[in-house]
Amino acid sequence: MRIAYIAQSYPPMISGAAMFAQQLAEGMAQRGHQVLVIAASDKSYTYVIQKENLRILLLQSVHNPMRVGQRFLVYPRFTMLKTLREFSPDLIHSHDALQLGMIGLGYAKRQHVPIALTIHQLPWFVASYLPVILKPMIEKALWIYAGYALKKYSQAIAPTLPISAIITQKTSVKVNTIGYGLDLKRFSPCVSEDGKLTIRRKWKLPMRAPILLHVGRLDTDKHVDRLLQAAESVLKNSDAHLLVVGDGIHKPALMHQCKLLGITSRVHFTGYISSQRDLADIYRIASLFITASEIETQGIVLLEATASGLPIVAVRATCIPEIVHDDLNGYLTESGDVEAMSKALFKILKNPQIARAMEVESRRISEVHDLQFSYILYEKLYRQLQQNTNRKRISLRLTSFTKRGKGLQVSKPVDDNFR
C-alpha cells in the first residue's frame, strides 16, 4: 500500500502529534508499505530524508512564537500537491485538520483517494491560550468548524473512547477509536538497583531520594504551575525531589516560581530529552508520575508512565481516567484542587504497599496499548477505507454508464452508504 502522511510538525520538532506521526509512518514502512511524509521543516529551508520505504519531505517553515522549538508552514499548497501527484498514494492520513488537512482533502477528492484524519487536539486546546472572556465564543466557533470539516474525511480517528464520544456529541460525526500505542519493551520497569544508581549519577540526582516525575511541555495548557504548588508541601516535608522533563515558553516563569516557593534546590529542570532511551531511563528511577494537564486526547506521557510501572497523580479530565484508574494505579483529583493533589502525592510516598500495588496495576493497564496492536488496527482501517472507495468508484461508474445508455434512467448505486 502507498500511504501519504501529512502533519504540521514532525521530528526533530517535538509534540505528541509529531511523535505519533513518526511512530506510525516508520511502523508502516517497516511493515512493507511505501510511505511518504509531508510536514513542516525544523529549519528555514526544505530538505528530504530517505529511509528505504520511507520518504520524508520537510518543507520550508517559519518560527512559531507561541511554542518553543515549533515552526509552521506558510503556503505549501503547490509543493504538497506536486509531491502527492508524483507519489500517487492509495490513501492519505492527515494529522492536521487545518492548513495541510484542507490541501490533502482537495487532492483526495479530485483523485478519489480515501483520506483519514487523526484528531490530536480539541477546541479547548486553542481556547486555553485565550483570555477568559473569549474562550466560550472561540471554542463554540471551532466546534462548528470541526463539524463541517470532519464530514469531509473518509474517516475521523481519535485515540481514546472518551475523546471519540466528545467529538461525536459535539459534531454528530462517528469517530473510530485507535490508540497511539507504545513500545512496551522500551518503556518498562525492568532495571537493576545498580542501573538506577547509574542513571541518577548521569542526571546528577540524589542517590536514594524519592523522585516525583513530570514529563511534558512547559506551556499554558499543561498547568505546571499548579503541579509546583502541589509539590511544595511534599518537597518541604520529605526527602523527595521533583524532576521536570520538557521545555516551553513558561520555563523561566516556572523556575522563578520555584524560587518564590523556596523549593529550587529540590526541583530539577532537565529541558527536553531527545533520546528515547534516556527518557525511558528517567521513568525507571521515578517513584511516581504527576501531571496537572486537563486537555489530553491520549497522553503519551501517561502511557509511558504506566508502562514503566509508575503510580500516577493526575486530574479527572478528558481521557485521563481511561489510563489512570482512581485508587488502583493512582489518584485522580478535581480541576485546580492543588491540596488534593498534594495529599495524593503524600499518600503514595508514605505507603510502600499502596505504591507497589499501583506499580503492578499500571503495568497491567499498559499492556492493552501495545504498539504492534495499534499497527494492526491501522492496517485494517486502511484496507477498509480502500475497499469502500473502490466500491464507490464502481458504483459511480455503473451509474454514469446507465445514464449514458438509457437516457434519464439511473440505476441504483451498489452501496447506499456512498450516496
- Mean pLDDT (the chain) is 91
State the distance between the two ends of the chain, measured CA to CA, in whole angstroms: 26
Does the structure show a pLDDT above 90 at 126?
no
Give the pLDDT band of residue 135 (cuts 50, 70, 90). Answer: confident
The span from the CA of 228 to the CA of 259, in Å, is: 11
pLDDT tens-digit series, residues 367-381: 999 999 999 999 999
Cα-Cα-Cα-Cα torsion 356, 264, 294, 378, nearest 10 degrees, comes to: -70
State the SS3 of 317-377: CCCHHHHCCECCCEEEECCCCHHHHHHHHHHHHHCHHHHHHHHHHHHHHHHHHEHHHHHHH
Does the structure show a pLDDT above 70 at 405?
no
Q: Residues 166-183: what's their mean pLDDT? A: 95
The CATH 3.40.50.2000 portion of the chain extends over: 2-182+371-405, 193-369
Q: Residues 78-84: what's their mean pLDDT? A: 96
Q: Residues 263-283: what's their mean pLDDT? A: 93
What pLDDT, on the 0 to 100 scale, is given for residue 214? 98
pLDDT tens-digit series, residues 215-262: 999 998 899 999 999 999 999 999 999 999 999 999 999 999 999 999
Q: Which CATH number describes the domain made up of 193-369? A: 3.40.50.2000
What pLDDT, on the 0 to 100 scale, is given for residue 390? 84
DSSP state of 221: G
What pLDDT, on the 0 to 100 scale, is given for residue 413? 45
pTM, rounded to two decimals: 0.88
Give the pLDDT band of residue 274 (cuts 50, 70, 90). Answer: confident
Q: Residues 158-184: what's their mean pLDDT? A: 95
Helix/strand/coil percentages in the chain, nearest 5 = 50, 15, 35
Does the structure show a pLDDT above 60 at 398?
yes
Does the structure show a pLDDT above 50 at 412?
no
- Whether omega for the bond prior to residue 321 falls within 30 degrees of 0, making it cis, is no
The span from the CA of 189 to the CA of 284, in Å, is: 6
Domain 2-182+371-405 in CATH: superfamily? Glycogen Phosphorylase B; (3.40.50.2000)
Range ranked top by mean pLDDT from 55-64, 334-343, 391-400: 334-343
Helix locations, 71-134, DSSP H: 77-87, 99-111, 123-127
Q: Residues 107-129: what's their mean pLDDT? A: 89
313: phi > 0 → left, psi -120 to 50 → alpha, else beta; which? beta
